[in-house]
Structure 1
């Protein structure tokens, strides 16, 4: 496994507790995002190092850079058709491009535009941006917000193949760590090492409401 892992309890000592943060494992060249699929799709992706087979290029696909947010959504890999948990290493430039072209999935006056202008942007954009409550290992909501990004059309096609550097099946790791959660033993819980991501582009940081 190429992921860097670190004890959960060590990480929460330095993580921000509130605000909008892209919590992720990244460097200047790449960032890791997570998805869960049924075995057929996941095994194809790992074998071929791109998405194909049963993967639909016509549907919107959602990526999450935050490991625990993915664990909340897939029940630590126990939900039906989400048993195969993938860590997808993608180009940082591609990830930034997704966000630069994103439109918030729901309207709020904080966007600084009218609802009609937002609806026009939704029609034109192929990238959705959404902030939701982050969660602890047990699935409880916390104050910090977690990001997820929806891709469709040409963005999905690029994500599925040319933006990918590595696809890893981390299902066994997820199952192992889930046992510590089930046993209420967070002292021994290891998860991917993550840090808040900020961009050099202040306009993009402002658009994303990054704290």
Structure 2
């Protein structure tokens, strides 16, 4: 049985992949430059998600207005863990959330068909004070997954979820440092 609160992601020894959905107006210049540039907003929180199935559900398989492009954003594990170290659960007091550099929330994970599962997926909101660090120091690469996501969506619509799953990056448990797991995973709290 899958633990209720657990980070699952595509990762290696030095990096982790998080996903974001954007319009082409933001995605194209970012892909060209290899980093986020205007019109990407450096003035509002940006949410990163290590679960591609969750993001495909949220963006309606890259078909929702303003979310037509799915980007895989490879960032350093050091940056990821710095963000988690500064994170405050969105279920904390309103004052703590308002002061936080990073917001963290758990939402029901999704199957490829969009059904809510019995375990959760993490979302991390990088606040204005850290966005430049995210862009300049943490990001090591951007990849446009839109064609692969749309092909997977077509397979899911035809009932071939196994074929769709083979098109998407494998996600496995990300080993959180024990102190972060204790603080951020509700199953371990008090």
TM-score under structure 1 length normalisation: 0.83
Where in structure 2 are there 5+ consecutive unaligned residues? none
Residue 193 of structure 1, aligned match among 137, 150, 170: 170
Corresponding residue for residue 160 of structure 1: 135
Task: Give the Cα separation in 1 of the matches to 2:3 and 2:95.
Answer: 32
Report the 3-state secondary structure (helix = DSSP H, G, I; strand = E; otherwise coil) of the residue aligned with 1:155. helix
Matched, 1:207 2:167: no
State the aligned residue count. Answer: 185
Conserved 8 A contact 1:21-1:210 = no
Match of 2:90 in 1: 105
Distance 1:29 1:17 in 2: 25
Q: Which has the larger radius of gyration?
A: 1
Q: Which residue of 2 aligns with 1:25?
A: 10
| CA offsets 1:112-157 (integer angstroms, 9 cap, x no match) | xxxxxx3442232110000010010111101010000001122111
How large is the RMSD of aligned CA atoms in angstroms? 1.4
Q: 1:210, 1:67 → 2: CA distance? A: 22
Structure 1 contact 134–142 (Cα < 8 Å) conserved? yes
TM-score by length of 2: 0.92
Give 1:160 shift: 2.1
Relative to 1, partners in 2 of residues 1:121 and 1:170: Cα closer, same or farther, differing over 3 Å?
same
- Name segments (4+ residues, structure 1) moved above 4 Å: none
Report matched runs for 1:1-211 at 5 Å: 16-107=1-92, 118-189=93-164, 190=166, 191-199=168-176, 201-209=177-185
180-189 or 87-96: bigger deviation: 180-189
| Gap runs ≥5 in structure 1 | 1-15, 108-117
Structure ranking higher on relative contact order (CA contacts 8 Å, 6+ apart): 1
